[in-house]
Amino acid sequence: MTNFNNNKEQGIVFPIPNTLLLPGVETVVYMKTLDDIHMEFLEKEEAVKIALPLKQNFAQKALKEEDFYRIGVVFQVSGIEKTEKGIQVTIKATDRVQIGEFRFEDSMIYAEYKPYPENADLDAKGREEMLDYLKKIIREISGKFQGGEQYSRITDEFGDLNSLIVYLSQFILISNEEKYELLKIESLKERGLRFMDHLLKQKEAVELQIQISEKFSEKANKYYRESVLREQLKVIQDELNEGKSERAKKDKDYLTKIEEAQMPSDIKEAALEELDKLEAQGPNSSEYNVLRNYLDLLVQLPWKKEEGNPVNLGAARQILNEQHYGLEKVKDRIIQHLAVMQLKNDKKGSILLLVGPPGTGKTSLGKSIAEALDRKYIRLSLGGIRDEAEIRGHRRTYVGAMPGRIIQSIKKAGTNNPVMVLDELDKLMTGGFSGDPASALLEVLDPEQNSSFTDHYLDLPYDLSDVFFIATANTLESIPGPLLDRMEVISISSYTTEEKFHIGKDHLIPSVLEEHGLTEEQMSVEDDVLRKIISDYTLEAGVRGLKKQLSALARVTSEKIVSNKAELPYRIKAEDLEELLGRQVSRHDKAQQDNPPGVVTGLAWTPVGGEILFIEATDMPGNGEITLTGKLGDVMKESARISLSLLKSRLPLNSVNFKERDLHIHVPSGAVPKDGPSAGIALFTALASLVTGNKVDSKIAMTGEITLRGAVLPIGGLKEKLLGAQRAGINKVLIPKDNVIDLKDVPEEVKKQLRVIPVETVEDVLKETLGISLPRIENMFHQKEVNKFF
C-alpha cells in the first residue's frame, strides 16, 4: 500500500479491464454493471473520476486492492449509452495519477491520489517524424490485406501520438500488462519507441503467416491442378483408345512375373484375382498401393521347388571340423541328420534345437551347416519378440501391414530351402496382449504342418517343409512344452580348458589378428600365456570372453606398433598380463592340504563350468537343533536332513545323544545361491567324519544324491564336475554307479588324471572316504574320543 502524506485528495475509482489509457485521448470503455450511485457520479462534472486498469478481468463485486495497478488516469465523461455488451461510456483522459490508499464502501471504491505528470520530451518535429513512421508501418501491413486501405486512411488523419497509440492498440496483440507499461512510461519519446517495437513485431508475424499461407496454397493448388490434368488426360486417352496404356503395361509386367514365378495352381489363381482387382482400381484409389505391395510380395517369393544337391558327408564333416574344435557328439549328430536327409530325400523332421551355454558356437554351427549343404543362410533373432504378428504378419486391413519375419526372410533369401537359424528361442516373450509368438511358432516348427504355413498378410499357404530350421537356446526351462516337443534337442556342453586352448590358438587368435589389422609377424601369444588367460581371466562355459581378452591384447599391440614403442614381433608374456588386462577375474577353489574332521569336498555344476564345493560340519552343546547356512536351496536343505536321519538310523540305539548337541552345516561362499540334490553323499560323509573324528582325504571329491534307505542315485553335469575337480587338484572322485555311462563324454586327458570310483550305497562311500563300514562306526562310538563330540 502507498501512503501520500502531503496530498489527501480522493477520487472515485472505476475499474477498467484490458484497455490502454493515455492522457489527452478520448476512449470508449464498457462497464458491464453500473448501479444508480455509479451513474450519478459519472454524470457529476465536479466529481473526480479515476479510470484504473485491472491486472485481470475480474468481476467488480470480487475486487480487492491488490487487483489494481497503481497508475491510472482522471477522466471526464463525454457520453453514456446502453448496449448489448453493457454500458458504453465515452471518456476523455485528462491527467495521469498515482493511487495511494483504497477505501471500499458498499459498491463504491474510493482512493487517494496524486498527480503523475508526463514528460513531454518530444518537440513538434520529433512527434511528426514518429507519427509518420508509425503510419508507414500501418500502410505496409494494410497493403497485405484486401480492404486494408481504409485503416491506413483512418490512421493518416491522426495528429496526436497518444491518440494513434490508443487506436492501434485495439488491433495488435499486446498483453494487458504491456498496455499498462505503456501508460506507466513517463517519457513520451520512450512510449512511442516501445509501441513501435510492438508494431514491428506484429508486422513480422503477419508477413510470416502470409508466407506460410502462400506456400500451403501453392502446394494445394499444384496438387489440385495435377489431379484435374490427370483426369483430363485419362478422358482424352480413352477417347483416342489410348487409355490405360501405361497401367496396362505395368499390369502386363505383373502378369509376366506371375507366369514366371512357377506358383502352384491355387496360388496362381489367387494372384490373378488380385491382379484383376488392381486393374479395376485407379491410381488415386486407397487400395491401389495396397494391392501393388501385395502383388510385389507374391511375385518375389520363391515358389519353385529347389533340387536338393547331394550331400558330401566327408566335405560336411571337414567344414565342421575346420570351423569348430571339439563338439564331437554334436558334429556326429549333425552328420547323421544330413545322412538321413540324403537317403530319404524328404525334409520333414529337419528341425534341430541346439541348447548350451553362451559362447559355445551354437549360431556359428548353423552357418557351418548351411555351408556344408551349400544353401543360403538366414539368421532370425527371436530375443525379446512379444508380438505374434512378428511371426505371422499383420492382416492386410491394417495400415502399414507387412508379412511376418518368416516370410520376409524367405523372400530375402530368394530360395525356399535355406538354412534358417532361429536364434535365442528361449528369450521369446510369451503371452501378453499382442498374442503369443511361441504359439505362432508351433505351426512353423511342426514338420507335419509347416508345408501349409499361412502368414496373415500373405493369407495363402506357403510350403516351409524344405527349410532346414535350426533353433538355438541357452536353456530349456523357458521354452513351452508343445514347442519343445516339435524339435530334436542337441545339448552342447561347456568347453574344457584344453578345448578352449585349441579354439583360442587355431581360431580366435587368427580371427582377432585379422579384425585388428595385425599379422603373426607383428603379435605373438605363447601357449602358456593363452592358458593363463583361460584360467585366470575368463570365467565362462564358452569362449566369448576369451576372444574379448585377446582383442584387448590386440588393441594394446596396435597402439604400440603405431607409436613405435615395440619391437616386432611384439610378444605377449605371462608376467605382462596383469599390466595389460588388469587383475585376474577368476579365482577357482583349490583342494586343501588337509581337511579336518567334518569337512569334505563336493562337486558342483555352474553355467560356466564345474567347481569344487567345501562342506563343513561342526557341533556344539545344545538341544538337538540343526543349522544350515551358506544360502542353500530347499533341495539341498532336504539332502542335509536326509543325511542326518540316515546316519541316526544306522547307529546303535542310544549310542549318540543327539538331543544334547546342536549341529551346524555350512557351505562357504555364502553370497552364492546353492541348490540341487547332488551334494547328498558329501553331506552324509561330512556328518560321518564329524561323528567318528576321522579325516577325509582333501584330494577326494564326491557327487551323488542319496535316499533315506542309503542308495546313491545318479546326477547331472558329470563332465563339468570332473573338469572342475581336475582343475582344483583332486585326484580321486566318487560318482554314482549309474553315471558310469556318462564317462564317455569326459575328455581322455581328464580321465587319465582322475581316479573315478563308482559307488552304489552309503556303505561304499564310507569305505572309500573313511576306510570304515557302518558296523565299525557302531564300535567306535564306545571310544571316549568320539563320545566327547556328542
Model confidence over 157-208: pLDDT tens digits?
888 888 888 888 888 888 888 888 888 898 888 888 888 898 888 888 888 8
Q: Which residues are catalytic, by number?
A: 678, 721
Pairing of β 10-16 and β 49-53: parallel
259 pLDDT exceeds 90? no
Q: For residue 126, what is its C-alpha cell?
A: 520529433
What's phi and psi for 375, nearest 5 deg? -125, 165
Instruction: Find the mean pLDDT for residues 236-253.
Output: 59
Own/partner pairs, 277-286, CB within 8 angstroms, 24+ separation: 278/251, 278/254, 279/247, 279/251, 283/230, 283/247, 284/227, 284/230
Give the span between the Cα atoms of 488 and 450, in whole angstroms: 16
Residue 241's pLDDT is: 60
Residue 39's pLDDT is: 79
641-667 residues labelled b (16+ CB within 10 A) or e (exposed): ebbbebbeebbeeebbebeebebbbbb
Residue 120's pLDDT is: 80
Residue 646's pLDDT is: 87
Residues 363-374: tens digit of each pLDDT: 888 888 888 888
Residue 545's pLDDT is: 84
Q: Nearest 10 degrees: CA dihedral of 354, 358, 361, 364?
A: 80
Q: What angle do CA 417, 419, 422 make, to 5 degrees?
A: 125
Q: Nearest 10 degrees: CA dihedral of 680, 682, 687, 689?
A: 150
Helix (H) or strand (E) holding 661: strand 661-666
DSSP 60: G
Residue for grid cell 485481470: 56
Provide the phi-psi class of 499: left if phi over 0, else alpha when psi is between -120 and 50, else beta. alpha
Residues 686-745: tens digit of each pLDDT: 988 888 888 888 889 999 999 988 899 999 888 888 888 887 888 899 999 999 998 887
Q: For residue 437, what is its C-alpha cell?
A: 509368438
Give the span between the Cα atoms of 153 and 132, in whole angstroms: 13
360 is in an annotated binding site: yes
131-148 residues labelled b (16+ CB within 10 A) or e (exposed): beebbebbbebbeeeeee
789 pLDDT exceeds 50? no
362 is in an annotated binding site: yes
- Cα 273 off chain centre by: 42
Helix (H, G, I), strand (E, B) or coil at 111: strand
655 pLDDT exceeds 70? no
Residue 97's pLDDT is: 92
Give the span between the Cα atoms of 646 and 650, in whole angstroms: 6
Residue 782's pLDDT is: 42
Own/partner pairs, 129-133, CB within 8 angstroms, 24+ separation: 130/161, 130/189, 130/192, 130/196, 131/158, 131/159, 131/161, 131/164, 133/196
Residue 476's pLDDT is: 83
Residue 252's pLDDT is: 57
Q: Which residue has the higher pLDDT, 702 or 124?
A: 702
**Which residues, in sequence order, are CB contacts of 354 under 8 Å at separation 6+?**
330, 362, 365, 366, 470, 471, 472, 473, 490, 492
Instruction: Find the mean pLDDT for residues 290-306.
Output: 86
Residue 786's pLDDT is: 40
For 1, 13, 467, 501, the CA distances from 99, given in Å and listed in that order, are: 9, 10, 91, 94
Give the span between the Cα atoms of 777 and 7, in whole angstroms: 118
SS3 string of 518-586? CCCCCEEECHHHHHHHHHHCCCCCCCHHHHHHHHHHHHHHHHHHHCCCCCCCEEECHHHHHHHHCCCCC
Residue 735's pLDDT is: 92
For the ranges 28-32, 202-206, 216-220, 595-599, the lowest mean pLDDT is seen at 216-220
Residues 319-333: tens digit of each pLDDT: 888 888 877 777 888
242 pLDDT exceeds 80? no
Provide the phi-psi class of 369: left if phi over 0, else alpha when psi is between -120 and 50, else beta. alpha
Residue 757's pLDDT is: 92
What residues are paired with 371 via a beta bridge?
Answer: none
Helix (H) or strand (E) holding 129: helix 124-142
Residue 1's pLDDT is: 45
586 pLDDT exceeds 80? no
356 is in an annotated binding site: yes
340 pLDDT exceeds 60? yes
- Residues above pLDDT 70, as percent of the chain: 88
Residues 469-497: tens digit of each pLDDT: 889 988 888 888 888 888 888 888 777 77
For the ranges 162-166, 457-461, 568-572, 778-782, the lowest mean pLDDT is seen at 778-782
Instruction: Find the mean pLDDT for residues 632-640.
Output: 88
- Mean pLDDT, rounded, of the chain: 81
359 is in an annotated binding site: yes
Residues 39-98: tens digit of each pLDDT: 778 878 788 888 888 888 765 556 888 888 889 999 988 888 887 777 888 888 888 999
Instruction: Find the mean pLDDT for residues 570-579.
Output: 81
Give the span between the Cα atoms of 75 and 156, in whole angstroms: 26
Decide if 550 contacts 532 (C-beta within 8 A).
no
- With cut-offs at 50, 70 and 90, classify the pLDDT of residue 676: confident
Residue 712's pLDDT is: 92
Residue 653's pLDDT is: 47
Instruction: Find the mean pLDDT for residues 218-223.
Output: 70
